[in-house]
Amino acid sequence: MDTSTHTGRTETRIQREKQDAILEAALEVFASNGFRGSTIDQIAEAAGMSKPNLLYYFSSKEDVHKKLIEHLLDVWLAPLRHMNASGDPITEICSYIRRKLEMSRDMPRESRLFANEILQGAPRIISMIEGELKSLVDEKAAIIRGWMDEGKLVEVDPYHLLFSIWATTQHYADFDVQVRAMLGPDKDGEDRFEDAAKFLDQLFVHGLKPGD
């Protein structure tokens, strides 16, 4: 995380803790209300501080949101970065699916924040999507294409494969209420993520393994 406030001053430990508290509060507010429905006053109240105090660390609602999204995108890309070209293709893809499901389980607010931004046309993060995200996806799509050329995976479009993994894993965060309602109270616990992992492993393994 950056070590200075928007004023340019070097941060102390206490100031960093304050900034982290603001970002945690902002995550809750933005995930619940979306960017347009959120205000600096709401974030300040959730952080337990005055609006002027918050504005010492961040110049605006947009500034808070940008910092959150930058951190989130870095975290969001981490599982894809771990996909190893020298590993077994099926193992690598299943590991990626598992990491994405764990993020849906552990970071539902972050997932909703990102989804809300995308649904609005990504006006505040389009440069990140077209830059860092696009570069990483191109790199991993080339790896997947290489596995297919070697006969280790069936022929599919690697981009749509990644889109499918995103859709099926992030569903469990973005549509959590619906998932819980459909599964019922007997399957409302954390086991639903393990059940999802087993199902998705089966779905993608059978769909990608040559000869199946």
Q: Where do we find the tokens 């590993």? A: 87
Q: For residues 71 and 18, state if they share a domain.
A: no
Q: For residues 35 and 97, state if they share a domain.
A: no
Cα 98 from Cα 94, distance rounded (Å): 6
Last residue in a domain, options 59, 92, 113: 59
The values of phi and psi at residue 174, to 5°, are -70, -30
- What is the mean pLDDT, run by run of 10 residues, along the chain of 212 residues? 50 86 94 90 95 94 90 87 95 95 92 86 86 95 97 96 95 92 82 92 92 66
Q: Is residue 8 part of a domain?
A: no
Q: For residues 23 and 97, state if they share a domain.
A: no
Q: What is the dihedral of CA 108, 1, 22, 130, to 10 degrees?
A: -50
User: In this structure, are residues 66 and 122 in contact, taking their beta carbons and an 8 Å threshold?
Assistant: no
Q: For residues 117 and 74, state if they share a domain.
A: yes
Q: For residues 179 and 95, state if they share a domain.
A: yes
pLDDT attached to residue 9: 53
Cα 121 from Cα 69, distance rounded (Å): 14
pLDDT attached to residue 201: 93
Q: For residues 125 and 158, state if they share a domain.
A: yes
Which residues, 6 or more positions from 118, have their beta carbon under 8 angstroms from its beta carbon?
Answer: none
Q: Which domain holds residue 24?
A: 13-59
